[in-house]
């Protein structure tokens, strides 16, 4: 009897050992790359831990680099058969990554395009081509209007503006000038070098009745009557008697953080640095509506994609990992740890999240946000900076300056799509 028990125990031990060996033999390791940012790394570590607990046969190794080095590292590693199997990239880089064959489309069976269109916020469709998605975000960003609560209280202003007209009225109350007429305190920050070029394209142009681009962002369309009205409104903010000044304290966010601006349009990614600004008491609200109650917003995001390095069992593991990091659970964790907004209404528009005092205005803004499909964001931004400068510094008409910007941007788009 004792011999039988010993034999059974030995058999169980051998079976357990074989199971471990079999599991080790079937294990697969994949690499995930992102740029370094403390909160992003912490969030991804938590997601990886959760994923590996549910998938013990898959190990995910995370590597991160400083932002300045990130694109170079990715571009060098993947063609050499090294580096990530799943990679994080800015949505505006998608065309470059596709052209360089760094990433591959997500499998339609696991990521059906129509289901994604129904489940994610609309701006995510910028990642779709035909019946396939190339990448998906865990989180997204949008714009909102930050306001200085101390300055509002001192001026006797009850709350933030709901409309563009109210924004002008409040801005005028908060604007202060010296004896020479120079602004010493802005009602509203200004600067196409920051987020205003997004606000102009996807916000003001649409609110004045236009559409900034046609043909899936391949045709410039802001050189229209609506675009001219939008630019006239924007430039008017900084004219004599206006509520702002381009170049005031160099960067718009610097003026707001210093308490020298009453209102400031920026992205949800600015929340962390504002929270760390000593002495700044701020609130945030949705971007103002136009006189007809129409709101419009811009959204940007970082996405995750499967690289062309991933093949065979690594590809299968990468697909599973992609499914998890774009799940509702992953998006809530990312919001809690990083503060970036969920990419799905099922997470973002829960009562708790949508009504959150800080995140709520950004989350609600996603419902009417659009994502510009840039081919070269920095170059396209510069064209609008130049357009404003031609009017302000050279005396060009708004119509002529906007026409010049549109022609230059159209050439940029044509050249890109002709070679891709």
In the predicted structure, residue 384 carries a pLDDT above the cut 80 = yes
Does residue 87 contact residue 62 with C-beta atoms inside 8 Å? no
Does residue 35 contact residue 89 with C-beta atoms inside 8 Å? no
DSSP 3-state of 60: strand
Q: What is the mean pLDDT of residues 208-235?
A: 97
Q: List, for residues 108-126, the tens digit of each pLDDT value.
A: 999 999 999 999 998 899 8
Q: List, for residues 331-383, the tens digit of each pLDDT value.
A: 999 998 888 899 999 999 999 999 999 999 999 999 899 999 888 889 999 99
Residues 6 or more apart in contact with residue 411 via CB below 8 angstroms: none
Q: Give the pTM.
A: 0.83
- pLDDT given at position 96: 87
Q: What angle do CA 250, 256, 259 make, to 5 degrees?
A: 115
Taking CA atoms, 74 is separated from 62, 83, 237, 281, in Å, by 13, 7, 42, 40
Domains and CATH numbers, the chain: 28-141+300-364 (3.40.190.10), 143-299+371-419 (3.40.190.10)
Q: What is the mean pLDDT of residues 395-414?
A: 97
- pLDDT given at position 14: 45
Q: Please name which of 126, 34, 2, 4 lies closest in space to residue 334, comparing C-alpha atoms.
A: 34
Report the distance separating Cα 351 and Cα 345, nearest Å. Answer: 11
Does residue 322 contact residue 304 with C-beta atoms inside 8 Å? yes
Q: What is the mean pLDDT of residues 324-332?
A: 97
pLDDT band at 3 (very low <50, low <70, confident <90, very high): very low
Q: What is the mean pLDDT of residues 275-290?
A: 95
Q: Which residues pair with 33 in a beta bridge?
A: 63, 87
Q: What is the mean pLDDT of residues 122-144?
A: 93
pLDDT band at 262 (very low <50, low <70, confident <90, very high): very high
Q: What is the mean pLDDT of residues 254-271?
A: 94
- pLDDT given at position 21: 40
Q: List, for residues 55-102, the tens digit of each pLDDT value.
A: 999 999 999 999 889 999 999 999 999 999 999 999 988 988 998 999
- Alpha carbon dihedral 208, 362, 86, 97, in 10-degree steps, equals 20
Measured in whole angstroms, the distance separating CA 321 from the mean position of its chain's CA atoms is 21
Report the distance separating Cα 187 and Cα 232, nearest Å. Answer: 18
DSSP 3-state of 264: strand
In the predicted structure, residue 254 carries a pLDDT above the cut 90 = yes
Does residue 417 contact residue 233 with C-beta atoms inside 8 Å? no
- pLDDT given at position 376: 87
In the predicted structure, residue 402 carries a pLDDT above the cut 70 = yes
**Would strands 297-307 and 103-104 be described as parallel, antiparallel, or unpaired?**
antiparallel
């Amino acid at each position: 009897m004792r011999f039988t028990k010993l034999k059974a125990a030995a058999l169980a031990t051998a079976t357990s050992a074989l199971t471990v060996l079999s599991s080790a033999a079937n294990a697969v390791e994949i690499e995930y790359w992102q740029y370094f940012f403390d909160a992003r790394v912490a969030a991804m570590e938590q997601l990886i831990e959760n994923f590996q607990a549910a998938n013990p046969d898959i190990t995910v190794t995370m590597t991160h680099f400083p932002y300045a080095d990130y694109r170079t590292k990715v571009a060098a590693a993947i063609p050499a058969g090294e580096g990530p199997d799943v990679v994080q990239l800015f949505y505006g880089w998608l065309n470059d990554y596709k052209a360089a064959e760094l990433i591959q489309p997500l499998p339609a069976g696991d990521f059906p395009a129509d289901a994604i269109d129904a489940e994610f916020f609309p701006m995510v469709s910028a990642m779709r081509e035909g019946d396939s998605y190339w990448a998906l975000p865990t989180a997204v960003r949008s714009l909102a209007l930050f306001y200085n609560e101390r300055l509002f209280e001192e001026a006797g202003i009850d709350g933030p503006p709901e409309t563009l007209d109210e924004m002008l009225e409040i801005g005028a109350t908060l604007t202060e000038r010296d004896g020479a007429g120079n602004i010493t305190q802005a009602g509203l920050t200004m600067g196409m070098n920051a987020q205003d070029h997004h606000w102009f394209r996807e916000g003001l142009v649409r609110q004045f009745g236009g559409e900034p681009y046609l043909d899936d962002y391949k045709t410039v369309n802001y050189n229209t009557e609506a675009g001219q009205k939008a630019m006239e409104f924007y430039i008017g903010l900084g004219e004599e008697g206006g509520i702002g000044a381009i170049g005031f304290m160099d960067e718009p966010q610097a003026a707001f953080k210093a308490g020298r601006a009453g209102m400031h349009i920026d992205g949800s990614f600015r929340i962390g640095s504002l929270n760390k600004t000593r002495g700044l008491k701020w609130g945030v609200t949705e971007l103002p509506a136009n006189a007809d109650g129409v709101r419009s917003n811009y959204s940007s995001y970082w996405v995750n994609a499967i690289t062309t390095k991933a093949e065979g069992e690594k590809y299968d593991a990468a697909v599973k990992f992609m499914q998890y990091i774009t799940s509702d659970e992953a998006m809530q964790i990312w919001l809690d740890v990083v503060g970036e907004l969920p990419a799905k209404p099922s997470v973002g528009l829960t009562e708790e999240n949508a009504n959150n005092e800080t995140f709520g205005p950004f989350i609600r803004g996603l419902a009417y946000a659009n994502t510009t499909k840039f081919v070269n964001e920095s170059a396209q931004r510069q064209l609008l900076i130049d357009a404003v400068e031609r009017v302000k510094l050279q005396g060009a008409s708004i119509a002529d300056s906007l026409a010049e910007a549109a022609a230059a941007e159209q050439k940029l788009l044509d050249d890109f799509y002709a070679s891709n």
